[in-house]
């Protein structure tokens, strides 16, 4: 890895950690917030030219996908788990965020991996799977998708607008729609 990429990678990782620290400090609520270590993004450098971007679910944090990340890292992959905006701090922070904020967080995560990996795979769990699929739809040239329990259905071209039939049938909250409309949970 050329030295310029190493410097850029370190700067981007430090910026993301600094952003989390500021958000955690601003939105910390003793009765609501979990320990800071749960919400911090994590980076596991591997020996492969392939990196994996792991996206956590709604009302979760990077720690949710740590075991998955450690398994992939043990296989030689570089792994980065960004924190989607509003997560890992408090419900007040999460309520102020929208899906576009989450997409920006994941996009920044991709740019971090681009500093050290030639190939990137994005994978997400639950709502993180939906965010991963949306990322692939927006940037199909960037990475192939992988998803676990993504709350979405339909063809590639209908994913952004097609409501989730299961959520519609059960009356559960559709987190993606909620994030785009601004309705409270």
pLDDT tens digits for range 64-93: 999 999 999 999 999 999 999 999 999 999
pLDDT at residue 170 tops 70: no
Q: What is the maximum alpha-carbon separation in the chain? A: 53
Q: 3-181, what's its fold?
A: Rossmann fold (3.40.50)
Q: From CA 53, how far away is CA 116, in angstroms rounded?
A: 12
Structure tokens at 152: 């979405």
Q: Which helix (H) or strand (E) holds 79?
A: strand 78-81
Q: What is the pTM of this model?
A: 0.76
Domain boundaries, given as residue ranges, for the chain: 3-181
Q: Which of 113, 40, 33 is nearest to 73 (CA)?
A: 113
Where is average pLDDT lowest: 102-111, 120-129, 175-184?
A: 175-184
Q: Which of 65, 51, 72 is nearest to 142 (CA)?
A: 51
């Amino acid at each position: 890895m050329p030295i310029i990429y190493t410097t850029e990678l370190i700067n981007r990782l430090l910026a993301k950690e600094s952003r989390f620290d500021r958000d955690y400090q601003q939105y910390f609520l003793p009765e609501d917030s979990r320990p800071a270590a749960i919400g911090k993004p994590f980076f596991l450098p591997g020996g492969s030219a392939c990196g994996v971007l792991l996206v956590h679910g709604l009302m979760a944090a990077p720690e949710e996908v740590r075991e998955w990340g450690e398994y992939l890292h043990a296989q030689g992959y570089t792994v980065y788990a960004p924190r989607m905006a509003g997560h890992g701090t408090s419900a007040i922070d999460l309520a102020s965020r929208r899906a576009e904020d989450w997409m920006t967080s994941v996009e920044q995560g991709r740019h971090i991996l681009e500093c050290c990996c030639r190939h990137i795979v994005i994978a997400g769990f639950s709502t993180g799977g939906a965010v991963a699929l949306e990322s692939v739809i927006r940037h199909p040239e960037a990475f192939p998708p992988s998803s676990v329990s993504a709350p979405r259905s339909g063809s590639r071209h209908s994913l952004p607008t097609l409501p989730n039939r299961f959520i519609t049938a059960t009356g559960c909250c559709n987190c993606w729609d909620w994030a785009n409309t601004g309705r409270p949970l």
